[in-house]
């Protein structure tokens, strides 16, 4: 068995479902990324527009100068269920995106990459240099995954694997080993399909297969630290963290194979209970899940808006009482909006 085959087998034993190898030479995606930033489609994620970010993403060898191979790895998470009730009045629960229902993938994948690094060192020798990337590292992971043969970048900007769809997380391991590259994935599995574009609640999907984060409900409910723009609040429906809409309608995802994983939080949390969580209880419940990314203020802001979209007037007394004691201006704004919706 070749070294490459042994690495692949080791990665699979750690829970990765697809592994690809490619060279670190710059990929065409850097031009698309720069254009995306120049149009301010990164919204409040200013760190993406820094010169360091742009420079680092231009070539993985800026992360690991000795890099000779980029190993792209894919893991799956449980697919989202039926979301047709997202905007049905009268619901008493919120909705959390599928990927956030299991332990935080940052922690899980970092542990897997650490074990894979140990295996590669054992197989190839102690002088191997490696650099692990999980989501937050400045690398064009979808472009390198496509170059490594793991799928294509879909119309909704996500990597689509022919068997696992986009219910996946990407990770990369940069290594100072020259390994035979896999073939680039050249087929465009989206074809003429426009289902995700039409399904997006806010029209955030752009023609060049990127997302305008300023309109994206995933960005607005998670990364955004300010108020939700008024024009997008009704479109949130009962979403309190993230949005799976463009993935849920994708034909590739409807036939995707995913691994079973134990969910650690509920997909449809009770809105009253969620709104009443103290900061300490919020931390205890969500600290080791992606929901923590929204922070306490963002989560309560989202829950208040979900209440306003519920059509349930029983929420009015709770919201009125909260409006008298709420000190956070972002949450107070969401409460006032929700009361206006429920009182009209």
Active site members: 135
* Strands of the chain, DSSP E: 18-22, 69-76, 95-96, 130-133, 152-153, 159-160, 168-175, 239-241
CB atoms within 10 A of CB 39: 13
226 Cβ neighbours under 8 A, 6+ residues apart: 44, 330
Alpha-carbon distance values, 209 to 179, 188, 196, 197, 205 (Å): 30, 12, 11, 10, 7
Residue carrying structure tokens 């670190």: 24
Q: Cα–Cα distance between 239 and 251 in angstroms, integer?
A: 22
Provide the pairing of β-strand 95-96 with 69-76. Answer: unpaired
Q: What DSSP line would sit under 226-285, residue for residue? A: SPPPHHHHGGGTTEEE---HHHHT-HHHHT--------SS-SS-BHHHHHT--HHHHHHH
**Best CA proximity match to 97, nearest among 250, 247, 281:** 247
Q: Cα–Cα distance between 124 and 43 in angstroms, integer?
A: 43
């Amino acid at each position: 068995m070749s070294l490459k085959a042994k690495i692949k087998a080791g990665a699979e034993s750690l829970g990765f479902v697809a592994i690809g190898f490619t060279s670190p030479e710059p990929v065409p995606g850097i031009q698309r990324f720069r254009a995306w930033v120049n149009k301010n489609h990164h919204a409040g994620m200013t760190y993406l527009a820094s010169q360091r970010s742009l420079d680092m993403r231009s070539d993985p060898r800026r992360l690991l100068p000795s890099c000779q191979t980029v190993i792209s790895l894919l893991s799956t998470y449980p697919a989202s269920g039926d979301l047709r009730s997202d905007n049905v009045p009268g619901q008493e629960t919120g909705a959390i995106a599928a990927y956030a229902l299991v332990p935080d993938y940052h922690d899980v994948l970092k542990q897997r990459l650490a074990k894979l690094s140990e295996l590669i060192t054992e197989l190839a020798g102690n002088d191997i240099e490696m650099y692990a990337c999980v989501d937050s590292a400045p690398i064009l992971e979808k472009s390198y995954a496509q170059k490594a043969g793991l799928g294509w970048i879909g119309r909704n900007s996500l990597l689509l694997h022919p068997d696992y769809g986009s219910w996946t997380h990407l990770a990369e391991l940069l290594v100072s080993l020259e390994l035979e590259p896999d073939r680039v994935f050249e087929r465009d599995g989206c074809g003429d399909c426009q289902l995700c574009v039409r399904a997006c609640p806010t029209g955030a999907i752009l023609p060049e297969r990127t997302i305008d984060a300023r309109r994206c409900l995933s960005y607005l409910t998670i990364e955004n630290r300010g108020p939700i723009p008024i024009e997008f609040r009704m479109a949130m429906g009962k979403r309190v963290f993230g949005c799976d809409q463009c993935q849920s309608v994708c034909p590739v995802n409807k036939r995707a194979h995913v691994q079973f994983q134990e969910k650690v939080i509920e997909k449809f949390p009770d809105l009253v209970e969620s709104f009443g969580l103290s900061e300490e209880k919020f931390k205890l419940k969500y600290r080791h899940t992606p929901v923590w990314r929204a922070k306490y203020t963002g989560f309560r802001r989202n829950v208040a808006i979900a209440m306003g979209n519920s059509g349930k007037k029983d929420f009015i007394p709770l919201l009125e009482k909260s409006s008298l004691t709420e000190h956070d201006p972002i949450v107070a704004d969401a409460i006032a909006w929700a009361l206006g919706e429920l009182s009209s």
